[in-house]
Amino acid sequence: MLADIKQQGISLSKALFASAKVLEEVQNGTSLTLALQGTSPDLRPAVQSIAFQALRRGFWAQEVLNQYVQKTPPGLTLYLLWAAIALLPEKNSEPMYATHTLVNEAVNATSLDSNLGFARGLINAVLRRALRNEKLYQEIPEEQHPSYPEWWTRKLKYAYPEQYLNILAASKEKPPLTLRLNHRFLKDEAGVKKYLDDLSKADIEYQLIDKVGGQKLSGAIELKNPIPVAKIPGFFDGACSVQDAGAQVAAELLKLAPGQRVLDACAAPGGKAAHFLEKYDIHLDALEIDASRAKRIEENFGRLKLNGGHIIIGDASTPKAWFGGELYDAIIADVPCSASGIVRRHPDITYLRQEGDIKNLQVAQRKILTALWSLLKPGGKLLYVTCSVFPDEGELQAKWWLNAMPDAVRLKAPGQLLPSKQHDGFFYALFEK
């Protein structure tokens, strides 16, 4: 994506300046998605790319900056330096830009705001000093420039003493682009084969993903090189969706029978709900508290040409306001969580989350679980899902649930899926009433 900035002839100085404004908003508590909405459409792809790089390397960039300044630069100057430093070449990698170009464009970015005139010399000096001593910034050990807040690393080290470094490393990698084939659209094996042939004809390299966490998948395809959805054959016709392989476990794990009533709580943007409707002939209520996010569910159902889905605007923790009275055969409780398993897709998470949030989320999750359990038929199944790697939101919640609900029986499920090159981090627990 960074290469596209050059290929599209986008001004790097303008992209750096806009990225600095986005980074400032994120640091002040705004999500990256919302912060990017204020960026002009022509610059947005470039700014998103730089912002992602800056957030992934943010703690490291701050450590590099600390080597050359005695006190934190004010306002946008700090974020311009942050964005530029994040584009410095990593060890054993080709630089995206000639170093003199990066320095010049970062300096030129100050001319886009009359209040930044004083910063030209500082930005020029810091970047040139850093470039004269590549080893200093390329070989700072992980312990000296942690890529995550201290509390984040501490919790992971406590939970996974032998694996936490691998978890941290996987969460910094660029995520794969994985497709989920719509078998209802493709109809049969011949349709799937034709679609795979279409990928090959378009020179799109791919590999089939057979299993995740021991769970067999039926339509997961990882593209070797991520591409825009507009270039994916059949995407807008409904042939496939973009969905992480770890998220595709849900519809494979929770087996359903024709005609069953299913509730997908906290359903937006609708990927799991759509997968269930593709796979099973069921009636599915997709519950979402946010009306604007619920529109994404409707859009997905429409693009994929799915029937049997009904969207409800409501709070999963207070069903009295929306529940119609007929119990469900199955419930998917994909509850709000820290999103610590999908950091590489949302690098702003480590800047927005605080340690105290985990306890608050745990309380909210328990409230939702308790409310949803009352909507489930005896013999029905509830699938508890989070995209977290913290046991507080995963295994500890599952154990709490078994103690809290004497009529809950835990069934076989993958449990904790740690992030890897092939998929993000998820937790799955399946209960029968």
**Cβ within 8 Å of residue 189, ≥6 positions away:** none
Catalytic, 387? Answer yes
Q: Is 271 annotated as a binding residue?
A: yes
**Cβ-contact 177, 242 below 8 angstroms:** yes
Looking at residue 257, its amino acid is: A
Gap between the Cα atoms of 193 and 211, Å rounded:
19
In the set 265, 332, 376, 387, the catalytic residue is 387
R_g of the chain computed on alpha carbons: 23
Instruction: Give the pair of three-digit tokens for residue 287.
Output: 């519950």
Q: Is 325 annotated as a binding residue?
A: no
Eight-class DSSP state of 97: S
How far apart are alpha carbons 415 and 395 in whole angstroms? 7
β 215-223/177-181 pair status: antiparallel
Interstrand relation of 261-265 and 283-288 (parallel, antiparallel or unpaired):
parallel
The residue type of 330 is: A
Residue 341 is labelled as binding a ligand: no
State yes or no: 288 annotated in a binding site.
yes
Contact 80, 106 (CB under 8 A): yes
For the four alpha carbons of 59, 64, 67 and 70, in that order, the dihedral sign comes to negative
Query: What's the CA gap between 225 and 222, in Å, rounded?
Result: 9
404 is in an annotated binding site: no
Are 265 and 271 in contact by the 8 Å Cβ rule? The answer is no
Residue 347 marked as a ligand binder? no
Q: Is 334 annotated as a binding residue?
A: yes
Q: Answer positive or negative: Cα dihedral of 91, 93, 99, 104.
A: negative
DSSP result, 147-197: SS-HHHHHHHHHH-TTTHHHHHHHTTSPPPEEEEE-HHHH-SHHHHHHHHH
Would you mind telling me the total number of residues written for the chain in this entry? 433
281 among annotated binding-site residues: no
197 is in an annotated binding site: no
With beta carbons less than 8 A apart as the criterion, state whether 62 and 85 touch. no
- Residue type at position 365: Q
Calculate ∠ Cα 256-261-267, nearest 5°: 90
Nearest to 159 by CA among 147, 167, 169: 167
Of 303, 331, 141, residue with least CA distance to 236: 303
Judge whether 169 and 153 are in contact, CB under 8 Å.
no
Count of helix runs (H) and strand runs (E) in the chain? 19, 11
Is there a binding annotation on residue 141? no
The annotated binding site is made up of 266-272, 288, 315, 334
The residues annotated with a catalytic role in the active site are 387
The annotated binding site for S-adenosyl-L-methionine is made up of 266-272, 288, 315, 334
